[in-house]
Structures are given as C-alpha cells and as structure tokens.
Structure 1
Amino acid sequence: MSDQHTDVQAFFAARAADWDSRFPDDGPAYAAAVAELGLRRGDAVLDAGCGTGRALPALRDAVGPSGTVVGLDLTAAMLAQAVRAGRDRSGVLLLGDVGRLPLRDGAVDAVFGAGLVSHLARPAEDLRELARVVRPGGRLALFHPIGRAALAARHGRQLTGDDLRAEPRLRPLLAGSGWRMVAYEDVDARFLVLADRMD
C-alpha cells in the first residue's frame, strides 16, 4: 500500500464517526448529481470512494430493485458508518482500492465519485481502471457538494491552477484515461464533471 493510500485511510478513519453530522444538508445535492448520471432501471453502478454511502440510496432509487449498486471505499471505518446508517441496504459494500477494482471489464454502466479525484494515489492510472470496468459509452460523474473556490475558502487556502480538478488539467487527464468530458460545472453550490467512456 502506498503512502498516499495510508494517508487517505488515516484522514478518513479519524473523521468517519462524525462525517455525516458535519455535512447534514448535502443529501439533495447528492441526489441531483446522481440524477445527471442518466441511470436506467436495471443498470449497474459503482460508487467509487463511497465513504459513508451518502449517494447509495439515490443510486438505488435510480436503478430500481433490479439494478446493481456497489459502494467501494478504501477506509473500513467509513464503510462501518455506512452500515450504521443503514445504507448497506441500498447496495453491496466493498473494502478496496479504486486502482485495483474487483470487477470485470465493462461490468457497470456508470461510476459515481464524490470527492474522489483529489484523493487518488495515481490519478491517470486510477481513472483508467474506472474506465476499464465501465461499458463503452457508460458515464462517470465526479462530484463534490461544494465548488472548488468555496472549498478552498472553507479550508483557508487559495485556489490554484495546479488543482487536479481545474478544467484545463482535468480534461486532458480524463481524455488520456479513456474518458471524454461532456460537462464541467464548478460553482459555489457544487462541482460536477460528467464524462463518457470512450469506445
């Protein structure tokens, strides 16, 4: 396991117990972002870096009882909180690494990733691995319930151009990893990027 993985696990393990209570009003933003994935009844979807599973109920609603919802996270403590919140009823929870997904090629129709990009150990390789498990033409949503500038301000930082989520950096990163960006939105209320899996 890389130092980046260890750092991410430590960061989220320390915050897992009160994660949902720190951000109690994000539910509608998650549901709105999930709606933009364009999921259909019976689809299969992966919530990559699912954390406490806040997107899982909306994902389940979108794919219906015949669909498949998989939530994967690197941090056991976050998955434990998902279970405590009852979100394991909305999908299968897996402890694992986005860089080595336990899914076959083309297994899912879409991937949802909330707060994911800035925590990837190897962004290009990890996004390529996500592309591997999505069928050609399938969709990726990279989401955060607050925009880049508002998030930087919240943490007392300046927004810089080397942020991986900045459009001039993210668009070529996605393109080199098997994705074609189709939408980029970065406003105070949310960050949402949609990309389609290239054939």
Structure 2
Amino acid sequence: MTDAHRNVQEFFAARAADWDRRFPDDGPAFAAAADSLALRPGDAVLDAGCGTGRALPALRAAVGPRGTVLGADLTPAMLAEAVRAGRGSEGTLLLADVARLPLGTGVLDAVFASGLISHLSRPGPDLAELARVVRPGGRLALFHPIGRAALAARHGRPVTDGDLRAEPNLRPLLARSGWRLDVYTDEDDGFLALAVRAP
C-alpha cells in the first residue's frame, strides 16, 4: 500500500463512525445524482469509493433486483459503517482500491463516484481504470452534494484554478482517461460531472 493510500485510509477511518451523522440531509442529492446515470433494470453499476454506502439504495432501486450493485472502498471502517447502516444488503461490498479493481473489462454499465476524485493518488490512470471496467457508451457520474465553492468555504480555503474538478481541468483529464464529459454542473447545492465511456 502506498503512503497516499494509507493517508486516505487513515483520514476516513477516523471519521467513519460519525460520517452519516455529519451529513444527514444528503440523501435526496445522492438519489438525484444516481438518477442522472439513467440506469435500467438489470444494469450493473459500481459505487467507487462508496464510503458508508449512501448511494447504494438509489442505485439498487434503479437497477432492480436482477441488476448488479457493487460498492468498493479502500477503508474497512467505512464499509463496516455501510453494513451497520443496513446498506450492505443493497449490493456487494468490496474492500478494493479503485485504481486496481477486481473486475473484468467492460463488465459494468456505469460508475457512480461521490467525492472520489480529490482522493485519487493518480487521477488519470485511476479514471482510466474506471473506464476499463465500463462498456463503451456506459456512464460515469462524479458527484459531490455541494459545489466546489461551497466545499472550499466549508474547509476555509479559496477555490483554486488547479482544482481537478474545475471544468477546464476535468474535461481533458477525462478525455485522456477514456471518457467524454457530457454534463457539467457546479452550483452551491451540488457538483455533478456526467461522462460517457468513449468507444
């Protein structure tokens, strides 16, 4: 495990038990972002960096009982909280690094990723790994329940031009990684970048 991975694990392990209590009102935003993937019954979807699994119920509702829902996270404590919250029954939880997914090529219809991009140690290759497991034409939703400016204000820092989620940075990063950015929304009440897997 790299130092970057260890740092991410330590950061989230220390916060796992209180995570859902800190953000109790995010449910509707997660559901709306999951809906943006336009999933169909029977589809296969991954929540990459699923944390406590807040998106899993909405993803399960979209793909139905015959669909496949996977939740992958690097932090055992976050997956334990997902189980404790009753979300483990919504899909299969995997202790896995999104940079090296234990999945075949092109097996998924979509990937949902909340707050993930700022925690990727190698954003280009890591997004390419997400592209690898998605069929051509499949979708990626990069989501955060608040926008870039609101998130920066919450952390007491300014928004910077170097932010990977800024559209001028994100669009070429996704393109180099096998994705085409289709929808970009960055408002105080949410961030959503919706991309399609290139052929």
Band the TM-score falls in, shorter-chain normalisation: over 0.9
- d(CA) in 2 for partners of 1:179, 1:165: 14
Deviations along 1:63-90, whole A, 9 cap, x unmatched?
0001000000000000000000010110
The 4+ residue runs of structure 1 with deviation greater than 2 A are none
Query: Who is 1:83 aligned against?
Result: 83
Aligned position for 1:119: 119
Q: Distance in 1 between matches of 2:137 and 2:160?
A: 32
Deviation per residue, 1:93-136 (Å, 9 max, x gap): 00010000000001100000000000001100000000000000
- In structure 2, distance between residues paired with 1:122 and 1:60: 29
Question: Paired residue for 2:38?
Answer: 38
Question: Within 1, Cα distance between the matches of 2:4 and 2:148?
Answer: 21
The equivalences for 1:1-150 within 5 A come to: 1-150=1-150
Aligned equivalents of 1:178 and 1:94: distance in 2? Answer: 24
Give a deviation string over 1:7-28, Cα, whole Å, max 9, x none.
1000000000000000000000
| 3-state SS of paired residue (1:78) | helix
Is the partner of 2:41 in helix, strand or coil?
A: coil
| Aligned amino acid, residue 132 of structure 1 | R
Q: Distance in 2 between matches of 1:59 and 1:183?
A: 19
- Identity fraction in percent: 74
Structure 1 position 3, deviation (Å): 1.2
User: Please, what is the CA RMSD of the aligned residues?
Assistant: 0.4
Q: Distance in 1 between matches of 2:3 and 2:167?
A: 27
**Structure 2: how far apart are the matches of 1:141 and 1:4?**
23
Q: Secondary structure of the equivalent of 2:50?
A: coil
Structure 2 residue identity aligned to 1:63: V
**Deviation of residue 2 (structure 1)?**
1.3
TM-score, structure 1 normalization: 1.00
Residue of structure 1 in register with 2:183 after alignment: 183
* Structure 1, unaligned runs of 5 or more: none
Distance 1:121 1:95 in 2: 17
Secondary structure of residue in 1 paired with 2:99: coil
Cα distance in 2 for residues equivalent to 1:29 and 1:114: 11
Question: Any stretches of 5+ residues in structure 2 without a counterpart?
Answer: none
2:183 is paired with a residue whose SS is strand
- Residues in 2 aligned to 1:127 and 1:17: alpha-carbon distance in whole angstroms: 28
1:196 corresponds to 2:187: no
Q: Aligned partners of 1:102, 1:88: CA distance in 2, in Å? A: 19
* Other-structure match for 2:173: 173
SS at match of 1:39: coil
